[in-house]
């Protein structure tokens, strides 16, 4: 596929630019051969995220290439050997040398064309309205990954913009508790998003086994989600869809290794609150100020994380209802009654802080991490963090030995298999593609015709 109108990505942005740039110490830096006037000269190149810089210590301004969504290809020269060619907006830049390490780094930001030459499909593991998810194997080393396969012919203009934003945000991510993009491919019909393969499934599926977590089990999950939020907030990004379906386990049953996924509603924070989707999220997990059409900030993620905390402890959300409108209106008011919940003082104190409907009074990430609840459980978590599974670890402060997934205050329901997931289909992949709903005339617990309906990634209408 040539880099023309058929491409899903935007190739019209400037490719080569020049301005003063700070070179960071940890940036990838090496020397390569670059052709100029029929001769090859050794030049220093620096890679800083999506900028490829032609570095010169003698010049105040550096020439650089914005490689975002540029076409990336491996080339070979009769004399210079292997090289890399980057093409964008009708221009290209080629360099030769020891390029293998650089090619691995460039793949995250650029587009490649020959997916079938690098990977083979193993099986379909999930399907949504916009994408299919497959387990795949890399031919070179037999390592397994996951790929989201998007059909370009089905996209509308707004869908295209939303996916481009999601890809942009996920490329920035580089944290053990946050999903990222490894590579992107494109052909005439499809876009291929390569991600790490997570075998543990959604946190929602883990909840179905016992319906509740102990305080310590909830802490194990929440402290990792808070670390993930701290990281994405440090990059100026808000997530806006924290919920059990978007928390993925790397391996089955290992709740000490969770990953925050699905950046379909994420965006860069704006003080004016003018986002692609302003009123959005999952009913029952949304911060009230977002539903109330008020200016909001990063603390909408704290509120949603507080709802997740509540959900882990009680096996249900505070605004659960069989009626969609009732769920949204209860969420709109944002008040959560904690007076009848029997948990430790430290636990209830943290819940109140995270679920304060007033964002000014709501806890910050720093206050959460400095809370007495975190202090109470942090030592135990560090002690057992090296174990492969936390299923047999006693919960600190509990009156009997239990697993982190089993609540000391609530007995498991007799038939958890009969209780449907609140917003998720139990058979979808942990890398499930987004589903958008345009109607509010159904229950958030059961969709028309008795099917479980996933409400993630939809602008809320009330």
**CATH number assigned to the domain comprising residue 282:** 1.10.510.10
Q: How many CB atoms lie within 10 A of CB 147?
A: 26
Determine contact, residues 243/308, Cβ cutoff 8 Å. yes
DSSP-derived pairing of the beta strands 247-249 and 237-238: unpaired
- Give residue 441's pLDDT: 26
Look at residues 48, 35, 33, 143 and name the one whose alpha carbon lies nearest to residue 99: 33
> Is 294:278 a contact under the CB 8 Å cutoff?
no
- Interatomic CA distance for residues 382 and 414, integer angstroms: 33
As beta bridge partners, residue 267 has 238
Q: What tokens does 24 get?
A: 């960071």
The answer to whether residue 271 sits within a structural domain is yes
Tokens for 366, please give them.
Answer: 């720093």
Per-residue b or e along 428-450, where b marks 16 or more CB atoms closer than 10 Å to that residue's CB: bbbbbbbbbbeeeebebbebeee
Q: Check the annotation: does 148 bind a ligand.
A: yes
DSSP 257-281: SEEE---TT-EE--TT---SSSSEE
Mean pLDDT of 111-132: 90
Both 222 and 341 in one domain: the answer is: yes
For residues 136 and 97, state if they share a domain.
Answer: no
Q: Are residues 345 and 440 in the same domain?
A: yes
Cross-strand partners of 18: 63
Q: What is the chain's alpha carbon radius of gyration, rounded to the nearest angstrom?
A: 24
Res. 246: pLDDT tops 50: yes
Max CA pair span of the chain: 79
The reported pLDDT for the residue numbered 159 is: 84
Does residue 3 fall inside a structural domain?
no
Write down how long the chain is: 462
Residues 188 and 223 in one domain: no
The answer as to whether 421 is a domain residue is yes
Same structural domain for residues 50 and 138? no
Q: What gap in Å lies between CA 133 and CA 149, rounded to an integer? A: 6
Take residue 9 and report the two structure tokens written for it: 């990505």
Number of Cβ within 10 Å of residue 375's Cβ equals 11
Q: Is 8 part of a structural domain of the chain?
A: no
CA distance 136 to 430: 15
Judged against a pLDDT cut of 50, whether residue 421 lies above it is answered with no
- Torsion, Cα of 122, 123, 126, 130 (10° steps): 70
pLDDT at 52 over 70: yes
- Which of 22-26, 176-180, 275-279 is modeled with the greatest confidence? 176-180
For residues 46 and 75, membership in a common domain is answered with yes
CA distance linking residue 292 with residue 284, whole number of Å: 14
pLDDT tens sequence across 263-272? 989 999 999 9
351 is in which domain, residue-wise?
Answer: 203-459
Tokens of 419: 């209780």
Of the residues 195, 226, 254, the one at which a domain ends:
195
Q: How far apart are CA 64 and CA 35, in angstroms?
A: 16
Q: What is the mean pLDDT of residues 336-353?
A: 95
User: pTM of the prediction?
Assistant: 0.81
Residues 223 and 339 placed together within one structural domain of the fold: yes
Say whether pLDDT at 446 is over 50.
Answer: no
Q: What is the pLDDT of residue 128?
A: 73
- Within 10 angstroms of residue 320's Cβ, the number of other Cβ atoms is 17
What residues form DSSP beta bridges with 48? 51
**309/341 Cα distance (integer angstroms):** 13
Compute the average pLDDT of residues 391-403.
36
- Same-domain check for residues 326 and 447: yes
Structural domain count of the chain = 3
Q: Between the CA atoms of 41, 47, 51 and 57, what dihedral angle is there, to the nearest 10 degrees?
A: -60
Question: Does residue 233 register a pLDDT over 80?
Answer: yes
The pLDDT-based confidence of 444 (bands split at 50, 70, 90) is very low
**Strand pairing partners for 137?**
120, 144
5 is a domain residue: no
Q: What is the band of 384 on the pLDDT scale with cuts at 50, 70, 90?
A: low
* Averaged pLDDT, 235-247: 96
pLDDT digit string (tens) for 62-105?
999 999 999 999 999 999 999 999 999 889 999 999 999 999 99
Q: Are residues 259 and 395 in the same domain?
A: yes
Domain assignment present for residue 9? The answer is no
Q: Is 11 a domain residue?
A: no
Both tokens of 262, joined, read 């699905």
Query: pLDDT tens-digit profile of 161-215?
Result: 889 999 999 999 999 999 999 999 999 999 999 999 999 989 998 888 878 999 9
Element (H, E) at 125: strand 119-127
CATH number at residue 47: 2.30.29.30
For residue 414, is it within any domain?
Answer: yes
Cβ partners under 8 Å of residue 390, min gap 6: 217, 220, 254, 255, 256, 384, 403, 404
Host H or E run for residue 249: strand 247-249
Last residue of a domain, one of 144, 178, 195: 195
Residue 352 and residue 309 in contact, taking contact as beta carbons nearer than 8 Å? no
Q: Which residues are catalytic?
A: 241
Q: How far apart are CA 442 and CA 433, in angstroms?
A: 21
CATH number of the domain within which 163 lies: 3.30.200.20
pLDDT digits (tens, 9 = 90+) for 348-360: 999 999 999 999 9
Which DSSP string do the residues of 340-351 spell out, in sequence order?
T----HHHHHHH
Q: How high is the mean pLDDT of the chain?
A: 82
Domain final residue pick, 166, 195, 224 = 195
In this predicted structure, what is the pLDDT of residue 383?
A: 61
List all residues 6 or more positions away from 36 whose beta carbon is below 8 Å from its beta carbon. none
226 and 155 in one domain?
no
Does one domain contain both 187 and 268? Answer: no
Q: Calculate mean pLDDT across residues 406-418.
A: 36
The answer on 390 and 277 residing in a single domain is yes
């Amino acid at each position: 596929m040539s880099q023309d109108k058929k491409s899903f990505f935007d190739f019209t942005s400037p490719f080569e630019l020049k301005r003063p740039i700070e070179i960071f110490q940890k940036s990838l830096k090496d020397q390569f051969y670059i052709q100029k006037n029929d001769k090859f000269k050794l030049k220093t190149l620096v890679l800083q995220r999506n900028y490829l810089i032609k570095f010169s210590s003698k010049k105040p301004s550096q020439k650089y290439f914005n490689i975002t969504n540029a076409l990336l290809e491996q080339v070979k020269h009769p004399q210079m050997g292997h090289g890399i060619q980057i093409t964008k907006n009708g221009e290209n830049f080629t360099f030769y040398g020891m390029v293998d390490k650089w090619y691995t780094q460039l793949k995250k930001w650029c587009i490649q064309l020959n997916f079938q030459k690098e990977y083979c499909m193993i099986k379909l593991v999930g399907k949504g309205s916009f994408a299919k998810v497959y387990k795949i194997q890399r031919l070179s080393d037999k390592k397994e990954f996951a790929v989201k396969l998007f059909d370009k012919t089905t996209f509308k203009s707004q869908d295209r913009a939303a996916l481009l934003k999601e890809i942009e945000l996920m490329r920035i991510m580089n944290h053990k508790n946050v999903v990222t993009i490894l590579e992107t491919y494109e052909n005439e019909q499809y876009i291929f998003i390569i991600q790490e393969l997570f075998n543990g499934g959604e946190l929602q599926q883990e909840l179905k086994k016992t319906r509740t977590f102990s305080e310590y089990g909830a802490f194990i999950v929440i402290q990792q989600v808070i670390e993930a939020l701290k990281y994405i907030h440090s990059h100026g990004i808000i997530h806006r869809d924290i919920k059990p379906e978007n928390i993925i386990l790397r391996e089955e049953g290992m709740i000490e290794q969770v990953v925050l996924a699905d950046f379909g509603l994420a965006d860069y924070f704006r003080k004016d609150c003018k986002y692609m989707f302003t009123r959005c999220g999952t009913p029952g997990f949304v911060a009230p100020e977002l539903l109330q059409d008020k200016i909001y900030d990063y603390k909408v993620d704290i509120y949603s994380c507080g709802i997740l905390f509540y959900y882990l402890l009680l096996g249900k959300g505070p605004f659960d209802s069989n009626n969609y409108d009732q769920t949204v209106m209860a969420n709109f008011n944002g008040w959560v009654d904690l007076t009848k919940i029997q948990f430790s003082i430290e636990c209830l104190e943290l819940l109140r802080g995270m679920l304060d409907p007033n964002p000014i009074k709501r806890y910050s990430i720093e206050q959460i991490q400095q809370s007495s609840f975190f202090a109470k459980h942090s030592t135990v978590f560090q002690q057992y963090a090296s174990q492969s599974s936390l299923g047999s670890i006693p919960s600190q402060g509990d009156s009997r030995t239990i697993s982190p997934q089993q609540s000391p205050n609530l007995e498991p329901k007799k038939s958890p298999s009969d209780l449907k997931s609140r917003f998720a289909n139990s058979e979808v992949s942990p890398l499930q593609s987004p589903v958008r709903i345009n109607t509010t005339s159904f229950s958030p617990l059961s969709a028309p015709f008795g099917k479980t309906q996933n409400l993630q990634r939809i602008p809320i209408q009330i």
